[in-house]
Structure 1
Amino acid sequence: MRTVRYEVLPAKGTEDKVIAHVPRDVVVTVTASPVKGLEPTLDLATRLAAHGYRVVPHVPARLLRDDVHLKDVVDRLRGAGVADVFVPAGDADPPAGAYGGALPVLRRLSELGSPFDHVGITGYPESHPLIHDDLTVQAMWDKRAHATYIVSNMCFDPRLLGDWVGRIRRRDVTLPVHVGVAGPVQRAKLLSMAAKIGVGESARFLTTHTSWFLRFAAPGGYSPERLLTRSAEALTAPSSGVAGLHLFTFNQIAETERWRCALLDRMTG
């Protein structure tokens, strides 16, 4: 809970919410939408960096037009002092340009001299609706030389989460993992925003896995604290390599920070 990352959406008012409620030692990641494109993400990331935050913009491969566009994005972010980026494949269909997946972008960043100190890639504790589990693990193996950490997608099953961490370690994927957890948002808010805005493959998961959808939507069906408590043994084992939590705030930023502080207070007595 002390090494937490908050994922926020580049919407009107997000900057003010972050400044008002998020301490400067909390990493803030900024999503990118296939509908709105990269510009809102880059703009918000630049402004938050100017306020002293360690900010991590999402740079989906499928939103990049070409090598020139990628170089422009790199120069803009480096000029703003950004040293950490998250590179998923993204949801744009069709892609904006030549990049259909994250690996070619990661390779290109390496060819550009690895301009960022930290580069994140996606992990899938829950089965991806379109890609077999073995292929998602293999993709992490292929990307490991170009990345410095993994962010797991949202997961609502503590057993699956623990099993997945063990599985990627057995495949010698040794990158540190930031465990993706939906924050303490209202159920209706979470589901509607996931479907409307699209938080990567998480939105597809919620709409294609009916049994989990029903469990999550049921009264008392989901609690981030309960998920973390039930996952604690697996996630805190030295062999797990878990570096911290990645909280999907769905822009309920003040509520998420109050919950985190209250939980830390209870943990420390």
Structure 2
Amino acid sequence: MLGYVRYEVLPAKATEDKVLSHVPRDVVVTVTASPVKGLEPTLDLATRLSAHGYRVVPHLPARLLRDDAHLKDVAARLGESGIDDVFVPAGDADPPAGIYDGALPVLRALSELGGPFARVGITGYPESHPLLHDDITIQSMWDKRAHATYIVSNLCFDGRALTDWVARIRGRAVELPLHVGVAGPVQRAKLLAMATKIGVGESTRFLTRHPSWFLRFATPGGYAPERLLARCADAFGTPAARVAGLHLFTFNQVAETEQWRRALLERLDG
């Protein structure tokens, strides 16, 4: 799973410098979007990182797009910057900025534009969505499959829940390749500061809705990404799982995440 890695970052002031200083060009960088700040910081950071030679995946939350014309303009802007991969969640802007209230209408609109992006990602929920029943989220992936090319699973700290979920979606004939979403080796104090200071990014908001998860970072031995991955290794190593790689939620602790990845690769090579 470490052969193909994506780092999710928040579009904060220092993010560009952190990525340039610590992330090699062969690591894909995904950029979240916030209903507070809107889509512009995401597009701006994504285009700048692309100009630096990174493969960049901006998040395009449906509820931050005004209409078809706005979507067309965004697609053209990203295309001019050489970006051919986007991630399309519903987002949680309330009320929506425009006509879209979910991801599927945006995905259909992109298809009607001729498919301007070679790769389009959608969200999966190994642990229950706060507002939707599990069967609805799996049905949603089925409905989106014709317009998407891969799934990114949201945060999960339970290895059994994660592997069971993958078995369930494959059993429902959802066959899109999966990038497994895992929290990086974040420090609890820094994570709390990030959530308080920035308060943006789907990953940060998701954690703030699950305060007990902060305890996993605080408890000695409570959470280490390599242990979670080890529990899932056998299940995810099968062709039927169709795991394409890892999606690491860095919470902008980019240096720490890259240091952890390199150290783990060295141990595995040894």
TM-score under structure 1 normalisation?
A: 0.95
Structure 2 residue aligned with 1:3:
4
Task: State the partner residue of 1:28.
Answer: 29
Unmatched runs of 5 consecutive residues or more in structure 1: none
The residue that corresponds to 1:107 in the other structure is: 108
Instruction: Name the counterpart of 2:72.
Output: 71
The C-alpha deviation readout for 1:56-104, integer Å capped at 9, x for no partner, is 0000000001111111100100010100000000011110011000000
Q: What do residues 182-207 of structure 1 show as CA deviations (whole Å, max 9, x unaligned)?
A: 0011023234534652442x555534
**Cα distance change on mapping 1:118 and 1:33 into 2, 3 Å:** same
Moved more, 110-119 or 184-193: 184-193
In structure 1, the partner of 2:51 is 50
SS of equivalent residue, structure 1 residue 137: helix
Matches within 5 A, 1:37-186: 37-186=38-187
Distance in structure 1 (CA, Å) of the matches to 2:147 and 2:192: 33
Contact 1:129 1:204 in 2 (8 A): no
Work out whether residues 36 and 200 of structure 2, in 8 Å CA contact, stay in contact via their aligned partners in 1. no
The alpha-carbon distance between structure 1 residues 143 and 81, as it changes in their structure 2 partners (threshold 3 A), is same
Question: Residues 233, 118 of structure 1: CA spacing in aligned structure 2 closer, same or farther, 3 A cutoff?
Answer: same
Alignment CA distance shift 1:163-1:106 (3 Å):
same
* Greater mean alpha carbon deviation, residues 181-190 or residues 44-53: 181-190
8 Å CA contact 1:63, 1:96 repeated in 2: yes
Q: For the residues of structure 2 that align with 1:172 and 1:233, how far apart are their CA atoms?
A: 21
Instruction: Supply the RMSD in Å over aligned alpha carbons.
Output: 1.5
Conservation of the 8 A alpha-carbon contact between 1:128 and 1:205: no
Is contact 2:204-2:251 (8 Å) kept?
Answer: no
Secondary structure in 2 matching 1:233? helix
Match of 2:228 in 1: 227
Query: What amino acid maps onto 1:160 in structure 2?
Result: A
Distance in 2, Cα, partners of 1:216 & 1:198: 20
Shift of 1:122: 0.3
Cα distance between partner residues in 2 of 1:172 and 1:47: 38
Change (3 A) 1:52 1:240: same
Instruction: Give how far 1:239 is off.
Output: 0.9
Summarize the Cα distance change of 1:163–1:245 in structure 2 as closer, same or farther, 3 Å threshold. Answer: same
- 2:189 aligned partner, one-letter code: A
Whole-angstrom CA distance in 2 between matches of 1:53 and 1:206: 27
Unaligned runs of 5+ in 2: none
| Matching residue of 1:193 | 194
Cα offset for 1:234? 1.4
For 1:111 and 1:164, locate their aligned partners in 2 and report how far apart those are by CA, in whole Å. Answer: 31
Q: 3-state DSSP class of the match of 1:197?
A: coil
Structure 1 equivalent of residue 13 of structure 2: 12
Deviation, 1:211, is 5.3
- The separation in 1 between residues aligned to 2:219 and 2:177, in whole angstroms, is 33
Say whether the 8 Å CA contact 2:10–2:200 is kept in structure 1: no
Query: 2:215 and 2:23 mapped to 1: Cα distance?
Result: 32
Shift of 1:237: 1.6
Amino acid at match of 1:197: G
More displaced stretch, 230-239 vs 22-31: 230-239
Offset from partner CA, 1:4-41 (integer Å, 9 cap, x none): 00011111121111111111111000010110001000
Q: Figure out how many residues of one structure are paired with residues of the other and give that number.
A: 268
Report SS of the residue matched to 2:179: strand
Give 1:230 deviation, angstroms. 1.1
Q: What displacement does 1:233 show?
A: 1.2
Q: Note the C-alpha offset of 1:46.
A: 0.5
For the 8 Å contact 2:120–2:147, the answer to whether it is kept is: yes
Q: Which amino acid aligns with 2:148?
A: A
